[in-house]
């Protein structure tokens, strides 16, 4: 047999590899390299009996690794640098692993690696990965701390499997019932989910087009009741009010003080599960009226924002009124601010707007005139617009290229409206979404990103004007995939063309929706909803803790019973049990068998005392003696013995 240390190390290195693989995908390659090299070297050293590096060498290596992490990330803080540091420290620990204690520390490092990965990302596969990796590390820990020789693989796996069979129900109960509290208690270092795609708080030609290239899910929505038509699905994101001639930027945001919305029409109730986007936007359906989260506020631009950027998946229940009329009055200062344009920029556009306003006569007529112009002239909706490089991009777009994407149309329309003296602004967000027939949920992807305009019409308030809809009506009514000209495709569109793959994709997506909705989105609200459904409405945290304790105690009691059954003997012979029952019946009738009295003597005494029982007693005694002391007990005779004992009435 191989050296036990080699076996123990081997188990732990394998388990750590399972923990490191997903973490390594987002680490600089050199850290993974160091980890692999340390593991390989330590394993060979154990096999060949090489000396381990001395303390000073290890210290120097450790300092070097810390410096390397610091160089790669410019910080030691945060999830990213933290997990890099954890992997590096794991490599160092592997180098000095000699004893039980080192193996234990390695197991703890493994558990924490799993934690950092889960904090970073939680796709569907992370659950089986979590269970398998924890099982592997636990098995390696079991092998590592053994005093005796390592267990065989099957015996060790059997043990860990049986332990998990009891630990998983405990975990499930705790997961469901542990009181979930909203919000972070203190600002932790950002999970550093950098490189997240999502809407920005500024827009210039090309920004939305770039976002469209991503097939990633932005958020998922489940509607209570009917799913509204595509044309109503305007998911409101940042509202951009400042324009420098090229780029639209977000102004200040302040909370809406007065309820400046006239709610009308049918409300839409829905639940959003928003993927982390690193921004504080909640992309509510226009116009949000109620939301069940104290951390969220509505800005004066009717945008929902959170106090903290969305670093984690967030589930929110909302009510929106698509037909509400926002803001019934506009201050003079605001009117001035929202009709301002940078001087000397896009002069031909300004000229055109004034001319159109003169002929139109009213603000509403002006809007229609501009939209008719987009519709009737040779404007093209395309994902590949020619670049607008000059100082007057709106002029260039309106009079020369006439090929653009939603941001071009929204920007051009808003500039025209402002030039005509109509308060106007750009709204970015998402439009539409894909209804998954399997899960009956709407999935909104980055490719559904959109930009539109809002103009202030006296007597009507803020009115949405989607200039893109004038050029490509299908964009609003059917979604972006239908609106693009032939030859231009969205990512993932090829897959959508094949029916079988499309069904698979929809099922996968439905699974993802369930996952995000019920597993990742299981927070305070979901917990309350679940308890309501269980028939425990209004259960407070005390009730939860009580229920939790009771359930866990029940699982532990079953474990204790099973373990006790395992550790007790096989128990008394069935024939002996039946005979004891028989003796107990006689004892109840006043005939107690003496401690040294043989069955035959006892039968004789009973027969003498109660002659009417003699036959039955003799029969039972004979059967018992035959089963107990005869050769090869016969199951049929055992049944006879049991029956006669059962029917025995002294």
Partner 1 sequence: MPPSRSPEAAAAGFPARLAARIRHWPREWARRRQGPDPEPVALHRRRVYILPTALGAGFGLSLFGMLLAAMNYNNSMAFALTFLLAGLGLVAMHWSHQNLTDSVVRGLHLGPAFAGGTARLEMVLENPGRGRRYDLEAAVDGTRSAPADIPGGRSARLALELPAPRRGRLRLERVKVTTDFPFGLFRAWAWLHPDCTGVVYPAPATHPPSPPGGGPEEAAGRWDENRGEDDFAGLRSFRPGDSPRRVAWKAAARGDELLVKQFAGSPRGAAWLDWESLPGVAPEGRLSILCRWVLDAHAGGERFGLRLPGTEIPPGLGTAHRHRCLAALALFPGGDGPADG
What is the set of active-site residues? 406, 450, 466
Q: What is the DSSP letter of 551?
A: H
Output 504 or 511, the one with its CB closest to partner 1.
511
Instruction: Give the count of residues interacting with partner 1 (CB under 8 A).
Output: 64
Coil/strand/helix, residue 588: helix
The order of strands in the sheet holding 281-282 is: 281-282, 304-306, 296-298
| 175 near partner 1, judged by CB under 8 A | yes
Output 71 or 185, the one with its CB closest to partner 1.
185
Coil/strand/helix, residue 304: strand
Sign of the C-alpha dihedral computed for residues 121, 122, 128 and 133 taken in this order:
positive
Shortest Å, Cβ 412 to partner 1 = 42
| 570 near partner 1, judged by CB under 8 A | yes
Euclidean distance between CA atoms 177 and 480, whole angstroms: 42
| Contacts with partner 1, 295-314, as mask; x by CB under 8 A | ----------------xx--
- Phi then psi dihedrals of residue 284, to 5 deg: -75, 155
CA max distance for the chain: 130
Output 187 or 389, the one with its CB closest to partner 1.
187
| 260 near partner 1, judged by CB under 8 A | no
Enter the tokens of residue 390: 């000059």
| 522 near partner 1, judged by CB under 8 A | yes
Q: Three-state SS string across 36-55, please? A: HHHHHHHHHHHHHCCCCCCH
Angle between helices 55-73 and 29-48 (to 10 degrees): 160
CA-closest candidate to residue 91, choices 118, 129, 120, 65? 65
Euclidean distance between CA atoms 79 and 83, whole angstroms: 6
| 26 near partner 1, judged by CB under 8 A | no
Are 243 and 342 a contacting pair, CB within 8 Å? yes
| 182 near partner 1, judged by CB under 8 A | yes
CA-closest candidate to residue 436, choices 505, 517, 521, 500? 505
Output 515 or 624, the one with its CB closest to partner 1.
515
| Contacts with partner 1, 344-373, as mask; x by CB under 8 A | ------------------------------
Output 520 or 531, the one with its CB closest to partner 1.
520
Output 100 or 335, the one with its CB closest to partner 1.
100
The DSSP result for 516-546, as a single string, is IIIIIT-SHHHHHHHHHHTT-TT--HHHHHH
Give the angle subtended at the CA of 171 by the CAs of 102 and 145, to the nearest 5°: 20
Output 27 or 107, the one with its CB closest to partner 1.
107
Are 429 and 199 a contacting pair, CB within 8 Å? yes
The answer for residues whose C-beta is within 8 angstroms of residue 330's C-beta and 6 or more apart is 423, 456
Stretch that binds partner 1, among 64-72, 182-190, 228-236, 583-591 (CB under 8 A): 182-190
Bond before 287 cis per omega within 30 degrees = yes
| 529 near partner 1, judged by CB under 8 A | no
Output 56 or 185, the one with its CB closest to partner 1.
185
Coil/strand/helix, residue 65: helix
CA-closest candidate to residue 133, choices 10, 7, 12, 312? 12
Shortest Å, Cβ 545 to partner 1 = 14
Shortest Å, Cβ 646 to partner 1 = 28
| 130 near partner 1, judged by CB under 8 A | yes
| 2 near partner 1, judged by CB under 8 A | no
| 531 near partner 1, judged by CB under 8 A | no
| Contacts with partner 1, 83-122, as mask; x by CB under 8 A | -----------------xx--x---x--xx-xx--xx--x
Shortest Å, Cβ 631 to partner 1 = 23
Which of residues 56, 185, 389, 649 is near partner 1 by CB under 8 A?
185
| 521 near partner 1, judged by CB under 8 A | yes
Report the DSSP beta bridge partners of residue 456: 462
Output 43 or 166, the one with its CB closest to partner 1.
166
Sign of the C-alpha dihedral computed for residues 621, 622, 623 and 626 taken in this order:
positive
Coil/strand/helix, residue 66: helix
Stretch that binds partner 1, among 19-27, 45-53, 462-470, 565-573 (CB under 8 A): 565-573
Which of residues 183, 347, 386, 630 is near partner 1 by CB under 8 A?
183
Enter the tokens of residue 39: 């593991």
Shortest Å, Cβ 416 to partner 1 = 45
| Contacts with partner 1, 591-630, as mask; x by CB under 8 A | ----------------------------------------
> Which residue ranges make up the site for partner 1 (CB under 8 A)?
100-101, 104, 108, 111-112, 114-115, 118-119, 122, 126-127, 130-131, 134, 138, 141-142, 145-148, 159, 163-164, 166-172, 174-175, 178, 180-186, 188, 191, 311-312, 519-523, 552, 556, 559-560, 563-570
């Amino acid at each position: 047999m191989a050296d036990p240390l080699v076996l123990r190390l081997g188990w732990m290195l394998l388990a750590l590899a399972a923990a490191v693989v997903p973490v390594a995908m987002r680490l600089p390659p050199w850290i993974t390299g160091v980890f692999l090299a340390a593991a390989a070297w330590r394993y060979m050293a154990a096999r060949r009996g090489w000396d381990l590096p001395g303390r000073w060498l290890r210290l120097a290596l450790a300092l070097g690794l810390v410096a390397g992490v610091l160089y790669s990330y410019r910080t030691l803080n945060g999830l990213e640098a933290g997990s890099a540091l954890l992997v590096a420290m794991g490599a160092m620990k592997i180098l000095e692993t000699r004893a039980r204690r080192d193996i234990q520390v390695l197991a703890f490092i493994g558990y924490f690696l799993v934690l950092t990965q889960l904090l970073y990302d939680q796709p569907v596969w992370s659950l089986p990965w979590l269970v398998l990796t924890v099982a592997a590390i636990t098995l390696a820990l079991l092998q590592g701390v053994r005093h005796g020789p390592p267990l065989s693989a099957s015996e060790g796996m059997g043990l860990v499997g049986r332990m998990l069979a009891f630990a998983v129900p405990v975990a499930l109960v705790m997961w469901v019932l542990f009181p979930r509290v909203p919000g972070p208690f203190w600002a932790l270092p950002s999970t550093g989910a950098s490189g997240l795609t999502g809407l920005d708080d500024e827009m210039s030609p090309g920004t939305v087009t770039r976002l469209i290239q991503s097939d990633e899910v932005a958020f998922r929505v489940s509607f209570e009741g009917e799913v509204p038509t595509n044309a109503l699905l305007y998911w409101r994101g940042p509202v951009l009010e400042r324009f420098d001639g090229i780029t639209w930027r977000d102004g200040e945001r302040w909370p809406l003080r007065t309820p400046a919305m006239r709610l009308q029409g049918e409300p839409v109730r829905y639940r959003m599960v928003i993927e982390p986007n690193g921004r504080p936007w909640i992309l509510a359906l226009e116009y949000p009226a109620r939301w069940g989260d104290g951390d969220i506020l509505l800005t004066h631009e009717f945008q929902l924002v959170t106090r903290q950027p969305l670093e984690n998946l967030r589930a929110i229940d909302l009510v929106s009124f698509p037909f509400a009329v926002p803001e019934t009055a506009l201050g003079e200062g605001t009117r001035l601010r929202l009709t301002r344009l940078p001087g000397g920029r896009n002069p031909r556009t300004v000229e055109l707007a004034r001319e159109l306003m003169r002929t139109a006569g009213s603000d509403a007529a002006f809007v229609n005139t501009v939209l008719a112009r987009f519709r009737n002239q040779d404007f093209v909706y395309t994902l590949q617009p020619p670049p607008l490089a000059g100082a007057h991009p709106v002029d260039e777009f309106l009079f020369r290229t006439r090929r653009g994407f939603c941001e071009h149309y929204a920007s051009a329309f808003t500039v025209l409206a402002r030039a005509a003296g109509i308060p106007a602004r750009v709204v970015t967000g998402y439009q539409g979404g894909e209804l998954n027939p399997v899960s009956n949920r709407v999935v909104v992807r980055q490719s559904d990103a959109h930009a539109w305009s809002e103009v202030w019409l006296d007597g009507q308030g803020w009115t949405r004007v989607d200039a893109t809809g004038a050029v490509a009506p299908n964009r609003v009514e059917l979604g972006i995939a239908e609106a693009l000209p032939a030859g231009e495709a969205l990512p993932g569109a090829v897959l959508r063309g094949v029916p079988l793959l499309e069904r698979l994709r929809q099922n996968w997506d439905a699974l993802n929706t369930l996952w995000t909705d019920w597993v990742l989105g299981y927070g305070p609200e979901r917990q309350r909803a679940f308890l309501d459904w269980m028939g425990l409405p209004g259960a407070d945290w005390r009730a939860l803790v009580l229920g939790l304790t009771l359930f866990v105690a029940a699982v532990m009691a079953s474990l204790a019973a099973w373990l006790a059954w395992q550790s007790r003997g096989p128990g008394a012979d069935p024939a002996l049990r039946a005979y004891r029952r028989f003796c107990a019946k006689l004892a109840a009738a006043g005939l107690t068998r003496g401690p040294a009295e043989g069955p035959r003597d006892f039968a004789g005494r009973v027969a003498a005392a109660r002659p009417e029982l003699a036959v039955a007693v003799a029969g039972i005694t004979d059967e018992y003696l035959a089963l107990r002391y005869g050769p090869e007990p016969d199951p049929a005779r055992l049944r006879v013995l049991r029956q006669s004992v059962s029917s025995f009435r002294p």
